[in-house]
Each structure stands twice: as structure tokens, then as C-alpha cells.
Amino acid sequence: MSGAEERGPVLRLTDGILFEAGPYSWRVEPLRIRLGEWVAFVPRGPDPVVDPAGPLARILASLMRPSRGTVEIDEKDVYRLAYRDVQRLRADLGFVQGYGGLLSNRTIRDIVALPLSVHGKLSMAEETRRVVDFLEVFALDQVGDLKPHDVDGATRWRACLARSLILSPRWVVMEGIGDWEMDRGRGVAWGRFREYRARKSSSGAICLSRKNPEFEAWFQSEGGIVVEYLTRARAPEPGSEKA
């Protein structure tokens, strides 16, 4: 058994998590995600006006503390870590933000390269080679000098995915399913996603806004795991209702 296989779970929700937004709360039960496992988190219960995918993705990516519960990544309680330790952890974490999260004043090339410059893991020559390679395999080489507002949503999402994977992170969190519904997983971005998963050197979470039976069936056929979590309407605060 390799050292990577001997390590504990990549993600552990020891006592589950609770998070809240607007008049709703969501409860994810305790679970472990081990190396090589990818999980799609799907809300069940009433269809809320508030989209739970963004808050849950940020919680799992060490960016937003849950209302209750413990989030461990590589056996570290991420919301108890010092700032410097969190930054080290994020060097091995990829986060795909829907269609957004791209700096409007930077080119697609600069955006894809950003994690390399922030975390400084490679030499300048190695950085250049990797960026060129990623732009090509994600079909971004023809738009590298353009800015996010110059390209369509599917291209922006490919740039988000390329940026999140360029450091070969061990833990990847995706907010939504990007352009999956355009080609049912047969496009460039999802092809690269399958190749990355096939290495078995990473784990990840895909946070859905609502149930999507077609995507869930496809994801399970690709070896993914679907985990449902509960949506509840919160009781109004005392005194908040009109007499």
C-alpha cells in the first residue's frame, strides 16, 4: 500500500455540518471521503429560493465556516487552523466557482496561471510550460489574451476548471456542474475532468443546486457517489412575524 493510500480520509465531516441562508437550513450527515472518491452533494426536501450549492462549496473549500459542525481536510480541522496553515492547505485544494470568480481585469492566461504564481511551486520555465499545456488541453489557447467579459459562459467555466486543477490538487470542490447540460459530459471540460479523476490521486465534491437525475445517473456511471442532504425551512425568529 502506498503512503497516499495509508493516509486518512481527504475530507471528514466528523459530526456532520449545518449551514443556513435566508429562511432555510441544510444538514449534511457525517461522512468520510477517501482518496480517489468523488461525491456529488444533492439537496433534497423543499426547493429553496436560495441556492445551497455556493455556501456548501465554500464550506468544503475552507472559505466559509458552517453554522455548526467540523470540517477536516487531510485530518486537519480547517476552521481552527492559523491563517498561514490555511494558505498551505489551499495550495493542495482546487475550487471551481460556477461561471464566475474570474478577475475581470486579467486575461484568461493570467487567470489560469494565478495559482502557480501565488503558491510558487514551480520555476518560471516550468510555470510557462504548464500554462501553455493547460490552455491547449482546455481549448483556451485561442482566447488566452482575452478577458472574461470577452468570452462566453462555457469558456469562463473551462477557465475556472483549468485554474483549479493546474497545481494538481488532492482535494477539488466544484460549485455546480458548469456546462454539463450542454453536452452531457462529452465536451472538453468534462473530458479533462474524467482524465483527472482517473489518476486516483485526488478526491472531490460537486455541489448541486437541486436534484438533477440525469447528471446523478451519469456521475454514478462514471464511478461517482451521490450523497443527498436535507433542506429545511427555518422557523421565523420570535417577534419577526407581523401581528
What pLDDT is recorded for position 237?
A: 55
Containing H/E element for 28?
strand 24-28
What pLDDT is recorded for position 222?
A: 93
Exposed/middle/buried for 21, CB within 10 Å: 0-12, 13-18, 19+? middle
Say if 194 falls within a structural domain.
yes
Q: Give the whole-angstrom CA distance, residue 94 versus residue 53.
A: 16
What pLDDT is recorded for position 17?
A: 96
Q: Give the whole-angstrom CA distance, residue 105 versus residue 147.
A: 7
Say if 243 falls within a structural domain.
no
**DSSP 8-state symbol, 150:** G
pLDDT of 241 > 90? The answer is no
What pLDDT is recorded for position 44?
A: 92
Q: Confidence band (pLDDT; 50, 70, 90) for 235?
A: low
Cα dihedral 127/197/7/169 (nearest 10) = 30
Q: Give the whole-angstrom CA distance, residue 159 versus residue 115.
A: 12
What pLDDT is recorded for position 4?
A: 41
What pLDDT is recorded for position 163?
A: 94
- For 218-241, give the DSSP string: HHHHTT-EEEEEEEEEPPPPTT-S
What pLDDT is recorded for position 100?
A: 65
Say if 241 falls within a structural domain.
no
Say if 239 falls within a structural domain.
no
pLDDT of 1 > 50? The answer is no
pLDDT in tens, 188-216: 999 999 999 998 899 999 999 999 999 99
How many domains are contained in the chain? 1
pTM for this one?
0.90
CATH of residue 102 = 3.40.50.300
Say if 240 falls within a structural domain.
no
Q: Give the whole-angstrom CA distance, residue 190 versus residue 44.
A: 25
Containing H/E element for 76?
strand 76-77
pLDDT in tens, 5-53: 445 689 999 999 999 988 899 999 999 999 999 999 999 987 778 899 9
Q: Mean pLDDT of all residues in the chain?
A: 89
Q: What's CA 150's distance to the chain center, in Å?
A: 24
Q: Give the whole-angstrom CA distance, residue 234 versus residue 19.
A: 11
What pLDDT is recorded for position 2?
A: 39
Over residues 225-232, the mean pLDDT reads 94
What pLDDT is recorded for position 239?
A: 53
3-state secondary structure of 84: helix
pLDDT of 137 > 50? The answer is yes
pLDDT in tens, 57-106: 999 999 999 999 999 999 999 999 999 999 889 989 999 988 667 888 89
Residues in the chain: 243
**DSSP 8-state symbol, 46:** S
The residue segments making up the domain with residue 33 are: 3-233
Which backbone phi and psi does 163 adopt, to 5 degrees?
A: -60, -40
Q: Give the whole-angstrom CA distance, residue 148 versus residue 107.
A: 7
How far is residue 209 from each of residues 54, 191, 206, measured CA to CA in Å? 8, 22, 10
Over residues 103-127, the mean pLDDT reads 86
pLDDT in tens, 162-188: 999 999 999 999 999 999 999 899 999
Q: Give the whole-angstrom CA distance, residue 61 versus residue 57.
A: 6
Say if 238 falls within a structural domain.
no
What pLDDT is recorded for position 104?
A: 84
What pLDDT is recorded for position 173?
A: 97
Over residues 155-165, the mean pLDDT reads 93
